[in-house]
Chain A
Amino acid sequence: MKRVSVAVICLLFFCLAGQTVRAGGKNIIGETAWIKVAGVSFPYLARIDTGARVTSIHAVDMKINDAAAVPEENVGKTITFTTENREGKSREVTARISKVSTVKNSQGEEKRYVIEMLLGWKHVQKKVLVNLRDRSRMQYKLLIGRNWLKNDFLVDVDIKAAEKE
């Protein structure tokens, strides 16, 4: 009897192992999702964008402590900016500039300040680099890119976030 139960346990173990291998243990997230930003009291209805390498958040009125004329010389300095979600809730945020990224687009070259932010979805919290961009003309004030999704999420565009969080 003991031998049979040991064998059954082994069988169950292999079945479960197979399940984990197939599902990958990743969370399923939709084309949009409610994301909480540490240090900001309101959530954002974010666009989940596998086409974006880095996450971007809406930021205006950027002020740097002891700013230098060359953006790269501001790395490590403190930046204060105002961020706002789609519902119009706004908040001033202070962070350290992690790096400056250069984006080439139709206008030429644009420099963006990048900071670290802790972004959460349900039980998942991840700290990632976030581009500070004026997204006032865009529908979604927070754009989640591959740097946040990697290793933890599968995106199913059939799923849309609820209208209210």
Chain B
Amino acid sequence: MKKIVLFALLACSLLPVSCLAAKQQRGLPVIGAVETLTLVGEKLQFAARIDTGAKTSSLSAVGIQPYERDGKRWLRFQVADSSGKLVLLERPLERIVKIKRHGALASERPVVKLDVAIGEIRQRCEFTLVDRSDYEYPALVGRNFLNRRAVVDVSGEYMVHPLSQGEKKDAN
């Protein structure tokens, strides 16, 4: 009788551990159709559409102004974070891409590199800058962020805690 109780207790202890652990698939974290994207340095948060159909990620920006710094091309631009606050950012211009849009002519977009995170997943990725104020989400996370870093489950949204483990500890 004691042995059964012991085994049952052991078995029960295994179940909650797998429930509480962040969802994983083949060792990759599972994220939803929409997540919070954090701009690490400036500590800004954006609601982001997780888009496997997009090759490159994108961030909504307005007032994009090119300028020169140390002989290199830089961009000054404004982004609105989830609180609605407009913040001025400056980044080197990486390149200019042609964006193919369904039914519309191809257009050009500037590309910058941003240090971003979705929960524990942290990456330095390219983002095209475009005015996305007509769209539901200011950020679009594409394959360049997702590749080998996350798996997408469109059945849910905000599956990941926006802060990393370290930030969660600091917050508490």
Q: Which A residues contact B (CB, under 8 angstroms)? A: 3-4, 6-8, 10-11, 13-15, 17-19, 21-24, 26, 28, 31, 47-52, 105-107, 110, 133, 135, 137-138, 143, 146, 149-151, 153-158
Contacts and interface: CB of A to CB of B under 8 A. Distances in A.
A50 B51 contact: yes
Interface in B132-158: 140, 143, 146-148, 151-155
B171 interface: no
Contact of A146 (B7, B26, B33, B100): B33
Interface stretch (B17-25, B63-71, B112-120): B17-25
Contacts of A21: 15, 18-19
Given A22-B24, A50-B152, A149-B154, A11 B104 contact: no
A11 B10 contact: yes
Given A14-B15, A155-B152, A158-B148, A51 B7 contact: no
B53 interface: yes
A106 B154 contact: no
Interface residues of B, number: 42
Given A51-B52, A155-B52, A28 B143 contact: no
24 contacts: A3-B4, A4-B7, A6-B4, A14-B14, A18-B14, A18-B19, A19-B18, A21-B19, A22-B21, A22-B23, A24-B30, A26-B153, A28-B151, A31-B143, A48-B52, A50-B52, A106-B104, A143-B53, A149-B154, A153-B153, A155-B152, A156-B28, A157-B52, A157-B147
B11 A11 contact: yes
